[in-house]
Amino acid sequence: MRYAMAIDTKKCVGCSDCVVACQTENNVPIGFCRDWVTETVDGTYPNVTIELRSERCNHCDNAPCVRCCPTGASHFEDGGIVLVTHEKCIGCGACIESCPYEARYSHPDGYVDKCTFCIHRVRKGEDPACVSVCPTHCMYFGDLDDPNSEIVNVLKNRKFKSLAPEAGTSPQIFYLV
Amino acid sequence: MKTRRDFIKISALGLGATAAIGGTAKWVFGDPVADFLGDTGDEPAPLKRFPTYCEVCFWKCAGWAHVNEKGSIQKITGNNDDPQCNGRLCPRGTGGVGMFTDPDRLKKPLMRVIKDGKQTYREASWEEALGFVASKMKDIKAKYGPESMALFFHGSSGNHFSHLMKAYGTPNLAAPSFAQCRGPRDVGFDMTFGESVSSPEVTDIRDTKCLVLIGSHIGENMHNGQVQEMSAAIDNGAVIITVDPRFSTAASKSKFWLPIKPSTDLALLLSWIHVLIYDELYNKEYVTQYCEGFAELKEHVKNFTPEWAYPITTIKPDLIRSAAREMANAAPSAIVHPGRHAAWYGDDVQRTRAIAILNALLGSWGNRGGIFFKEGIKLPEFPHPAYPTPAWSWHELNDGKYPLANEAVTNSVVESSIPADGKEAKIKGWFISGTNLIASIPMKEKLVKAMDSLELMVVVDTMPMEITGYADVVFPECTYLERYDDIRATAHREPTLALRMPAVEPQYDSKPAWWIAKQIGERLGLGDYFNYNDYSEVLDWQLKQVGSSLEEMKRIGVKKGTRKTSPYIEPGTVHAFNTESGKIQLYSHELADAGFDAMPVYTPHPGPDEGFYRLIYGRAPMHTFSRTANNPNLVALMPENSVWVNPQVAAIWGFKKNQYVWLKNQDGAVSRFPVKVRLTERIRWDSVYIVHGFGHHHKPLHLAYGRGVNDTELITNIMTDPIMGGTGMRGNFVTFITEDPGKEAEA
C-alpha cells in the first residue's frame, strides 16, 4: 500500500477551500496551515499562463524529516504516511529545516505539526478533508499499489510532475499539468 | 458637522472587549479543542450534525453543521444530496464556522440616545427596543401612511421582514442586488426570453461544449455549483472563451482569452452577432421556429463587422471570428453566460440583451448544454390574512424614470428619502436587514443625507457593519447556524427542498429574524400574520403539504423531487417562451415602446486621462463582499485586498513589490486606507483591479478595520441605466498617491 495524491492544476481555481477544510477538520490554529495554495504567473500581458497548486507535506518515500528527527517523533505509518507523534516531539525544529517543501510549522503548543493525509479519515475509507471538499474535484487520493484506483488511472493518462524532485526525497504528491 | 443622526462607533460602548463564546473562543485563538491527531489517527470525539443551508452567499448550498461535545460548531460540510453543492461547500461555506465564532458579533439590542449632548448607543432590552420600533412605525403609518416605510434587504432574513412590511402595508422592499448587481441582466433576459436566468442560474454548464464568459470570473466568484460544473466541463473537453481585460482564473483555463479594452464589450458582442448571421453560422432551425425580429436584427448588425470592432475592442478580427465559429460548432450546447453583477456602464440592459440574443442565435435556451428549463417544488404559503393593498408603490419613487424596472430601485428609495424643493420626503423610515448599504450602494453623500432625514432607521445584522452606526435601533440577529429560516425551495435542474435549523442556541442576546419580525408585528397589532409560537411550526405545516415533514427534513437535510417536465425542448414539441407572442424577442417592441433602442447599440464610454487607470473590481473566492471581511477563518486566507498593477505601469511610477499606496479617483475621492500594490502581468496597462469588500472603517470590526481599500468609496461617477435604474460603476478612474494624505486621521 502506498498512499499518494494527484492534483490537477488544469482544474484548480486556487480558492483555498482545501486550506479551510483542513483547518476545521484538524483544529489547525488560525494563522497556521497544513496546506496552502500557490499561484505562479508566467509570461507578459497578454501572453500569460497561471499555474495554481494546492501544496502540503509530500509524504516522501525518502523523507529527510524522519531521518533527522532526534526523538523518533517523525515516523512512517502504514501506506507511507509521514506523521509526527506530538508527545514525543521536543520542538527542536530540525525537521522544519530539512523539509524542502516547507510543509511543517511549530504549533503554539510546542510541537511540530503538518499534514497527516487525514489518516483518521483515510482509515475509515474516506478521502482526506481537502480532497473531499474541493469544489473543482481537482484532487485524487488513493493507493498507488492498487492498479484499479482512480489515482493510478489519472497518472497513467495524464502528464504530471512532482515538486523539487532534485532533492531526492521521492515525493508522493503529483501535479497533473 | 453635527447632524441629527451622527455616525456612532459601536466600540464606544465597551462592547469591543473580546468575549468568550461558549467553548469556541479557545479554539479560535489557537488551542485545539481536542488533540486527536497525534500519531494514532484516532477517531475524534463524535460530532452531532444538524442540517443547514449556507448564508455566506446567495447560492445557499445545503450542508451539515457538526457540533462537538462542547456544544460548539466544529466544522460545516456539504450535503451529498444537494445538487447545488454535491457535498462540497466552497471556502466560505466551509469557513462559515467563523460567522458563528466571530467575537465581534452584535450581542445586545442598541438604542441611540443623547448623553452629555453627544449621540451614542446604549444597550437596551429586547422589550424596550422592540416597543420603540413598533411605536415609531405606528407614528409613521398614522402621519404619512405605511408606504413611507422602506425595507432594504439581502439574504434569507429578508423574507421575514418582507412579510412584516407587507402586513404593515408597504410594498417598498428594495434589494441592492437588483439596481447594484443583477438587475440589468434580469431585465435584459426578460425583454428577450420573457424570463430571467434566476439564481442559481439555469445555465447547463455541466453538459456544455462551449462556455463564453463576458467578464464573468467563475472560480473567483465562487458560485459553487457553477464552479463545479465548469470543472466538469473542462474534464469533458469543453471550449471556454473568456472576455476580460484581466487574465482571470477562468481566462487561464480558456482556449480563447480576449483581453478586451474595458467598456467595449457591447461592440464585441455585436460583431459576434454579425459573424453568426452573415457567415450563416446561426442555428437556422431554432431561429425560424422561436425568434421574432431576425430580419431587423440582420439589417441592424450589417456594419458591425469584426473589422469595425477591432479598433474599438483591440481584439483582432481573426480571433473574433474563430471564437464565433467555436460557439457555432458547439451550438446548441453553447452558453454565452449571462453573468451576474451587470451594473457596469449604464447601458447594461442593452449589453445583456446582446448576450441574450447571442444565446438565441445559438439555440441555447431549451437545449442540453445550453440553458435549461427550471423546475421546483412549490411550497404553499403558511396561512395568514391577505396583505393590505398599498395606496402607492415603489414605481412612484422612480419619478417617471426606469420604466422597465421590475423590482424596487434602491437608489430611488434613497433619493426619495431626502426632502427636496420644500416638499416632505416620500420615504420616512428604513428597515435594513443583512446589507451594509454604505459598501453596497455607491452614493455615500446621498445615503448620509437620506439617513439624516429619516424618522426611523432600524438595522438588523449579525455584525457591527458600518451601516449599524447610523441606526436608531440595532437588533443583533443570530447567525444562520443558530436559527430556522424558510425552506430553500429553489427551482433548478432538479427540484429540491433544503432545511436550515439551529445547530446551537443563539449566542449572547441575539435572536432569529423570524422572531424579531413576529415581535414587531405583534406590537403593531398584526399578530394574525404571525400565527405560530416557533417558526418550526410554519416549516412543518408547509412540508406536510408536500408530503414531507420537519422530522424527515431534520434527518436528511435535502429532499429531491422528481421532475414532471423536461429540462430541454423535447423533439417534436414546440416550446412557448414566456413572452407575449411565445417567441424570443430579437427585436424588442417593449423597449421600443418605452422609447429605448429595440436592438442593442454600442456607445463609446470615456477612458482614463493620462496617469489614471480604469478601476475594475471583482471577487475573491474566499470572501463574499464585506460580509466575510471579519470572519476569522477567511481573513486568515485573505486579510486584505491589493491593487493589481501591470509591471509596465509600475515601472513608470517606480513601484516596488508590495509597496502601499493610496488611490485617488477622477473626482478627487481618496481612499481612506493605503493598499498594497500587486505587480502582475494579469492586468492591462489601462486598468487596475481590486477585490470588493475591504477597507472597512468601523473599528468594532477588529479584523477587517483598515485592511485594504473600499472600492465603493472610489466609485463616485455613476452611470444610471435609464431602462431600469442600474447603477453602472465601472466609469471610474484612479491614480496613485504615494504619500499619506491623512485621510485616516480625519475618519
Percent of all residues in chain B with a pLDDT value above 70, rounded to a whole number:
94
* pLDDT tens digits along A4-20: 999 999 999 999 999 99
Kindly list the distances between the CA atom of residue B647 and the CA atoms of A46, B202, B272, B611, in Å, as whole numbers in the listed order.
12, 39, 32, 15
Compare all CA atoms of chain B with the CA of A18 and give the residue at the minimum distance.
B91
* pLDDT tens digits along B443-468: 899 999 999 999 999 999 999 999 99
Q: Calculate mean pLDDT across residues B643-652.
A: 98
HSE-up of residue B476 (Cα within 13 Å, Cβ side): 23
Residue B340 φ/ψ, nearest 5 degrees? -140, -70
The total of other beta-carbon atoms located within 10 Å of residue B116's CB is 5
The whole-chain average pLDDT of chain B stands at 94
Q: Which residue ranges form the domains of chain A, and what is each CATH number?
A: 3-176 (3.30.70.20)
Kindly list the distances between the CA atom of residue A120 and the CA atoms of A116, A129, B32, in Å, as whole numbers in the listed order.
9, 10, 16
The whole-chain average pLDDT of chain A stands at 97
* pLDDT tens digits along B68-113: 999 999 999 999 999 999 999 999 999 999 999 999 999 999 999 9
Q: Do residues A136 and A23 touch, judged by C-beta distance below 8 A?
A: no
Q: Calculate mean pLDDT across residues B429-445.
A: 95
Kindly list the distances between the CA atom of residue B548 and the CA atoms of B376, B457, B537, B560, in Å, as whole numbers in the listed order.
15, 40, 13, 11
Q: Strand A74-76 to strand B334-336: parallel, antiparallel, or no bridges (unpaired)?
A: unpaired
- Coil, helix or strand for A48? strand
Element (H, E) at B673: none
Please give the Cα distance from A103 to A54 (Å, whole number).
12
Confidence tier at B13 by pLDDT (50, 70, 90): very low
The nearest CA of chain B is from the CA of A51 a distance in Å of: 8
Q: Do residues B721 and B653 touch, judged by C-beta distance below 8 A?
A: no
Which residues of chain B from 42 to 101 reach within 8 Å of chain A, CB to CB? Answer: 42-44, 74-78, 85, 87-91, 94-95, 97
Which residues of chain A from 40 to 99 reach within 8 Å of chain B, CB to CB? Answer: 41, 43-46, 48-50, 52, 73, 75, 77, 83-88
Predicted confidence at residue B81, as pLDDT, reads: 98
The nearest CA of chain A is from the CA of B612 a distance in Å of: 19
Taking the alpha carbons at both ends of chain B, their separation in whole angstroms is 13
Stretch(es) of chain B classified as CATH 2.40.40.20: 613-746
C-alpha of B427 from chain center: 24
Do A14 and B252 count as a contact with CB atoms less than 8 A apart?
A: no
- Report the candidate in B3, B6, B157 with the shortest Cα–Cα distance to residue B472: B6
Q: Pick the residue of A45, A111, A114, A138 with the most B CBs within 10 A to test the interface with B by mutation.
A: A45
What's chain B's length in residues?
Answer: 747
Q: Do residues A38 and A13 touch, judged by C-beta distance below 8 A?
A: no
Cell 491593487 -> residue: B643
* Residue B22 confidence (pLDDT) above 50: no
Which residues of chain B from 148 to 167 reach within 8 Å of chain A, CB to CB? Answer: none
Q: Quote ipTM for the complex.
A: 0.96
Predicted confidence at residue A168, as pLDDT, reads: 96
Secondary structure in 3-state letters for A66-128 = HHHCCCCCEEECHHHCEEECCCCCCCCCHHHHHCCCCCCEECCCCCEECCCCCHHHHCCCCCC
Stretch(es) of chain B classified as CATH 3.40.228.10: 192-374
Confidence tier at B260 by pLDDT (50, 70, 90): very high
* pLDDT tens digits along B659-679: 999 999 999 999 999 999 999
Confidence tier at B43 by pLDDT (50, 70, 90): low
* Residue B375 confidence (pLDDT) above 50: yes
- Coil, helix or strand for B297? helix
Do B41 and A75 count as a contact with CB atoms less than 8 A apart?
A: no
Q: Calculate mean pLDDT across residues A56-66.
A: 98
Q: Do residues B153 and B434 touch, judged by C-beta distance below 8 A?
A: yes
* Residue B539 confidence (pLDDT) above 70: yes
Please give the Cα distance from B80 to B533 (Å, whole number).
32
* pLDDT tens digits along A25-53: 999 999 999 999 999 999 999 999 999 99
Predicted confidence at residue B464, as pLDDT, reads: 97
* CB-nearest partner of B636 from A30, A75, A135: A30
- In CATH, the number for domain B613-746 is 2.40.40.20
Q: Calculate mean pLDDT across residues B324-340.
A: 98
Kindly list the distances between the CA atom of residue B502 and the CA atoms of B73, B465, B628, in Å, as whole numbers in the listed order.
11, 23, 20
Q: Which residues of A touch B622 (CB under 8 A)?
A: 15-16, 20
* Residue B17 confidence (pLDDT) above 80: no
Do A14 and B41 count as a contact with CB atoms less than 8 A apart?
A: no
* Residue B221 confidence (pLDDT) above 50: yes
The correct CATH number of B192-374 out of 3.40.640.10, 3.90.1660.10, 3.40.228.10, 3.90.550.10 is: 3.40.228.10
Q: Do residues B55 and B498 touch, judged by C-beta distance below 8 A?
A: no
Q: Do residues B183 and B722 touch, judged by C-beta distance below 8 A?
A: no
* Residue B15 confidence (pLDDT) above 80: no
Compare all CA atoms of chain A with the CA of B234 and give the residue at the minimum distance.
A11
> C-alpha grid cell for residue B171?
410594498
Do B44 and A45 count as a contact with CB atoms less than 8 A apart?
A: no
CA triple B716-B630-B459, angle to 5 deg: 65
Q: Pick the residue of B223, B231, B688 with the most A CBs within 10 A to test the interface with A by mutation.
A: B231
Q: Using the 8-state DSSP alphabet, how is residue B180 labeled?
A: I
Please give the Cα distance from B746 to B736 (Å, whole number).
19
Q: Using the 8-state DSSP alphabet, how is residue B477 labeled?
A: B
B508: left (phi over 0), alpha (psi -120 to 50) or beta: left
* pLDDT tens digits along B381-393: 999 999 999 999 9
Confidence tier at B368 by pLDDT (50, 70, 90): very high
Beta strands in B14-148 (DSSP E): 48-53, 62-67, 73-78, 110-115, 118-123
Alpha-carbon dihedral angle through residues A106, A111, A117, A121, given to the nearest 10 degrees: -130
Alpha helix stretches (DSSP H) within B584-646: 589-593, 632-637
* Residue B27 confidence (pLDDT) above 60: no
Compare all CA atoms of chain A with the CA of B88 and give the residue at the minimum distance.
A133
* Residue B23 confidence (pLDDT) above 60: no
The residues, ordered by sequence, that sit 6+ positions from B13 with a Cβ below 8 Å of its Cβ are B110, B120, B121, B122, B123
Do B76 and A75 count as a contact with CB atoms less than 8 A apart?
A: no
Do B74 and A24 count as a contact with CB atoms less than 8 A apart?
A: yes
Do A48 and B219 count as a contact with CB atoms less than 8 A apart?
A: no
- Coil, helix or strand for B367? coil
Confidence tier at B707 by pLDDT (50, 70, 90): very high
* Residue B19 confidence (pLDDT) above 60: no
Answer with the residue of higher pLDDT: B423 or B134: B134
